[in-house]
Amino acid sequence: MKQSSQTIVGLRVDVDTYRGARDGVPRLLKLFDEYQIHASFFFSVGPDNNGRQFWRLWHPAYFKRFIRTSFAGVHYHFNGALWRGPVIGRRVADIIQCADKAGHEVGLHAWDHHKWMSKTEQMSPLELRVELEKGYQLLSQVLGRDVECSAAAGWRCSEPTLTEKEAFPFRYNSDCRGKFIFVPAQGMAPQIPVTLPTYEELIGRHGITRKNYNQHILEQIKTNQLNVYNIHAEVEGSAQFGLFKQWLQLATEQQFIIVPLGALLDKDYIQWPKDGIVNVDLSGDDEWQSHQASVIQQSVDD
């Protein structure tokens, strides 16, 4: 990134569910309007089958996480557990259009979020392409133009996914956790990794409570480094809305400049460094995620 005295924070809002899109997004849009800021919204647009995670509660690691985050105010809903979930992009097309018209960046998160989270490793390149294609088609119909960016659900991105994404006109992808913008291979769209932890990951761990959570996040934001904060319409647009509002107020008081992720692609800097993606479980929740390879290597060397 260009040397600058300003502290810039890319703000990414993931929308995983129908409820998140219907209730969380309008609330966040209103808040962003009050603060006169823009963010990137990544929508899951296909069937909301997230309730199917209900059936995963038998898994001890998943059960542990469910209990920890439920007490912390992350609400789970059971759409698609016993019935077919609503097709989000059709039900809330007007809300997606509102986000777009208000000047926010709108990108593709997933077709079926639950399927992507649970099956992406087993999907063939063709299946991956079909999932991306279905999501792309519906979202571009809703927007009335090409979709310019995407962010894989759950930061789950395999090598074949990277390749399949190249068939779409994405200006950038945000598929992993990491520290700086990079290209996974010559000629590929750049990756803008998420640099900061999420509420769900931190709360209830290592002495992090609702009281010190915002301060903890703000302390990790620095000038002259890539800062990307990832919130969820289902969390910060819902039960943790008040907490997030406080964060935004504090970030504004510290004069942090909040931007959509696309604005982090410095136009003067065309040659992004090359780096890879590795899929590892660092959370202890038995949930793998894609990480920027050199950052993982660095932490192993340290």
Which residues of the shown chain bind Zn ion in the complex (CB under 5 A)? 14, 16, 153
CB of 42 to Zn ion, least distance (A): 7
CB of 155 to Zn ion, least distance (A): 9
Q: Considering beta carbons, is residue 44 or 292 the nearer one to Zn ion?
A: 44
Q: Considering beta carbons, is residue 153 or 162 the nearer one to Zn ion?
A: 153
Q: Considering beta carbons, is residue 16 or 275 the nearer one to Zn ion?
A: 16
Q: Considering beta carbons, is residue 14 or 275 the nearer one to Zn ion?
A: 14
Q: Considering beta carbons, is residue 16 or 164 the nearer one to Zn ion?
A: 16
CB of 232 to Zn ion, least distance (A): 7
- Three-class secondary structure assignment of the chain: CCCCCCCEEEEEEEECCHHHHHHHHHHHHHHHHHHCCCCEEEEECCECCHHHHHHHHHCHHHHHHHHHHHHCCCCCCCCCCCCCCCEHHHHCHHHHHHHHHCCCEEEEEECCHHHHHHHCCCCCHHHHHHHHHHHHHHHHHHHCCCCCEECCHHHCCCHHHHHHHCCCCCCEECCCECCCCEECCCCCCCECCECCCCHHHHCCCCCCCCCCHHHHHHHCCCCCCCCEEEEECCHHHHHCHHHHHHHHHHHHHCCCEEECHHHHCCCCCCCCCECCEEEECCCCCCCCEEEEHHHHHHHHHC
CB of 152 to Zn ion, least distance (A): 9
Q: Considering beta carbons, is residue 14 or 105 the nearer one to Zn ion?
A: 14
CB of 144 to Zn ion, least distance (A): 24
CB of 220 to Zn ion, least distance (A): 21
